[in-house]
Amino acid sequence: MLVPALLVLLFCLRGRAGLSPHFLQQPEDLVVLLGDEARLPCALGTYSGVVQWTKDGLALGGERDLPGWSRYWISGDAARGQHNLHIRPVELEDQAAYECQATQAGLRSRPAQLHVLVPPEAPQVLGSPSVSLVAGVPANLTCRSRGDARPTPELLWFRDEVQLDGATSYQTLLKKGTVESVESILSFTPSSHDDGATLVCRARSQALPAGKDTAITLSLQYAPVVTLSAEPQTVQEGEKVTFLCQARAQPPVTGYRWAKGGSPVLGARGPMLEVVADASFLTAPVSCEVSNAVGIANRSTALDVQFGPILQAKPEPMSVDQGEEASFSCAWHGNPLPRVTWTRHGGAQVLGYGPTLRLPSVGPEDAGDYVCRAEAGLSGLGGGAAEARLTVNAPPVVTALHSSTAFLRGPARLQCLVFASPAPEAVVWSWDEGFLEKGSRGRFLVETFPAPEGRVGQGPGLISVLHISGTQESDFSRGFNCSARNRLGEGDTWISLGRRDVLPTMRIVAGVASLATTLIIVITGVALCCWCQGKASFSKQKNQVHIPGSSHGSSLRGPEEEETGSSEDQGPIMHMDSSDLVLDEEGALETKDPTNGYYKVQGVSVSLSLGKTPGDGLFLPPSPPIGPLGTPPFYDFNSHLGMLPPCKLYRAQAGYLTTPHSRAFTSYIKPTSFGPPDMDPRTPHFPYASFPTPSHSRLQTHV
């Protein structure tokens, strides 16, 4: 153990005795701010000689206080080989390369570069502290940094601590290569919202990482910024609405203009407008235009006006062929949107909803009027219905108006009603031996008239009339065909002619006349009874009884009188004396038959209590008999009631007088023209035969 220890000690003593001077620490590059202190370290080992520093090769001296360099000195323990260089405060001229040298040992450290940093000054912004711009017009803001700042500073733009993009930087160099100034230009297009905003230009470098700022305020001139409001925004039609137009502008607002739907509102100049809302405000917005020295701006708003449905487009009538599709359209305007329904005219069933109704493959039963109806709005105003007619083109529809009857050898009239769309090309009547479309042919004549009322959806109607003059037996046993055709087809109907009997009609007329005559006689008797009431006896005197057509009267008169008659004559006069008048069992005066029943002709026997009359006779009615041949004659007393003398009682009894009529009634005479058809089924279909009253000057009492 002792031997190895001695060997190590010997080796150490031998190595120490052979060491040479060397650097224990050398200076390194240093960056220091202007005005701060710089320290460059240097340490030597096994050296006790002179140590000095050089600046860019210039020796600073060997003394520790470095006389002549007031801001320089050397610090550290020289016995330990510490020779550190200090500079305070550092100035720009101190920026150089420094070396630590051991002159006696010939040692030089590696050079250490001292960098002096100069912080930038606050930058300058052109136009600061307030920059005036125009909104909407592109602008450039310039920030510039001057001085000996090292390194060259970086210029940045900020708004609300948010860096802005779009800045461009430029550097201006001196002839010797140093930077004279730095500029940064920010390009942007300001808006009205930028008015009063603050922008910051910041100069930043390694010497001053936080940088130095310069702030500016933007002062913008801008066209008006308009806000338009309406109160209330949702309104019922007829209510008042107030529009308020508010504007921000620099310079101030110079004028207001109001418009509705692009048309100026006359008389409106201020920032407020009052109107009465109607449906037009929903589609015609109200606009407010505001102007100043920079420009013009406007805003518009539409009211939510609630109103009832208004018809904008009516449905159009349609005419389609059978089997095709029909379509109707109508337009209603309302707020809220109206509910539109389709129905048939007079019906309640809803056929469809919305502005369009489609009817596929229509038939004749679909013809008619269709109604487009919109319900009233919340206000109860508006609404209504619009109609359109659908005409279905189809073959003609032919029907008989009513059954027709006629007398044999009398006139007859047959009628058919034709509905067709399109209108029929022809209406033809046909029978066994022929046909007729228009005009006349033998006993037949065809006339055509427009129907008073058309059938809805089937076009206008026509009435075709077939006139028959002098009917024959064959006319009552065969049928007559009325047919019509158009481009879509043909339709027809058969009509038969019924026969009418004369006798029942004549009996009805005679019965009515008999009843009327009886009623007149009763009324006359009552009147006479009242006239003569109170008289107790009858006076006997000559009486003249006027009997029409009396042969006795003619025999008692002269020939001239019989032929010419008197102006006061009311008919032939039959003279009788008092012996010809006898009283019956009831006290009535009874007339004797002067022929003693020889002629047996039915007449009238009158028993009267007579007074004197102007002609000393009793006037009987000269009116001829009424009714057909074979019925009892009826006489009208009404024209002579005022001429009867006062009496107590009268009674009419059956007697016998001759009434030689040549004819009971006249036969039918064919009319020269025919009138329009009679639509009333109760009206006879042809003119009846007339029954004129024969005029006889006298009623003969002999055969």
Strand partners, 72: 87
Same domain, 200 and 274: no
* C-alpha distance across the termini of the chain, in Å: 216
322 and 370 both lie in a single domain: yes
Residue 687 falls inside a structural domain: no
Rounded to whole angstroms, what are the CA distances from 154 to 90, 123, 214?
A: 24, 10, 14
- Of 254, 286, 306, the residue at which a domain comes to its end is 306
Shared-domain flag, residues 37 and 110:
yes
Pick from 633, 694, 695, 691: nearest CA to 667: 691
From 283, 306, 329, the end of a domain falls on: 306
Coil, strand or helix: which one is 161? coil
Q: Are residues 293 and 371 in the same domain?
A: no
| Dist CA 30 CA 40 (whole Å) | 8
What is the per-residue pLDDT for 601?
A: 40
Sign of torsion over alpha carbons 261, 265, 268, 272? negative
Residues 150, 77 share a domain = no
In a domain, 672, yes or no: no
- 375 and 428 belong to one structural domain: no
> Is 346 inside any structural domain?
yes
Q: Note the pLDDT of residue 504.
A: 61
Q: Please give the Cα distance from 460 to 527 (Å, whole number).
A: 61
Q: Are residues 377 and 423 in the same domain?
A: no
What is the model's pLDDT at position 610?
34
When the pLDDT of each residue in the chain is averaged and rounded to a whole number, the result is: 76
| Residue 136 contacts residue 194 (beta carbons within 8 Å) | no
User: Distance between CA atoms of 301 and 616, rounded to whole angstroms?
Assistant: 113
Residue numbers of the domain that contains 130: 124-220
**Are 31 and 101 within one domain?**
yes
Question: Of 541, 525, 544, nearest to 533 (Cα)?
Answer: 525
> Cβ neighbours of residue 607 under 8 Å, at least 6 residues apart?
581, 583, 584, 588, 589, 590, 591, 650, 651, 653
Q: Is the sign of the CA dihedral 201, 207, 209, 212 positive or negative?
A: negative
Q: Which of 80, 76, 15, 12 is nearest to 45 (CA)?
A: 80
- Bridge partners for 344 per DSSP: 370
Q: Residue 161 maps to which CATH number?
A: 2.60.40.10
Asked whether residue 688 is assigned to any structural domain, the reply reads no
Whether 483 and 406 map to the same domain: the answer is yes
H helices of 255-368, where? 280-283
**Domain final residue pick, 117, 148, 175:** 117
- Phi, psi (rounded to 5 degrees) for 440: -125, 160
- For residue 1, being part of any structural domain is answered with no
**CA atoms in the 13 A half-sphere facing the CB of 433:** 6
- Cβ-based neighbour number of residue 536 at 10 Å: 5
Beta strands in 232-383 (DSSP E): 234-236, 240-250, 255-260, 263-264, 272-276, 286-291, 296-301, 304-313, 318-321, 326-329, 331-335, 340-344, 350-353, 356-359, 368-374
Q: At 224, list the tokens.
A: 């008006």
313 lies in the same domain as 290:
no
- Please name the amino acid found at residue 579: S
φ/ψ region of 154 (left if φ > 0, alpha if ψ in -120 to 50, else beta) reads beta
Looking at the domain assignment, is residue 623 inside a domain?
no
Looking at the 3D structure of the chain, how many domains does it have?
Answer: 5
Would 285 be classed as within a structural domain?
A: yes
Provide the pLDDT for residue 664: 35
Q: Is residue 579 part of a domain?
A: no
Q: Contact 459/419 with Cβ under 8 angstroms?
A: yes
- The tally of CA atoms less than 13 A away on the side-chain side of residue 683 is 10
The stretches in the chain having pLDDT less than 70 are 1-18, 173-179, 377-382, 454-459, 502-507, 534-703
pTM here?
A: 0.42
Same domain, 345 and 300: no
Burial class from Cβ neighbours inside 10 Å (0-12, 13-18, 19+) for residue 543 reads buried
Name the token pair of 227.
């806000």
Domain identity same for 260 and 205:
no
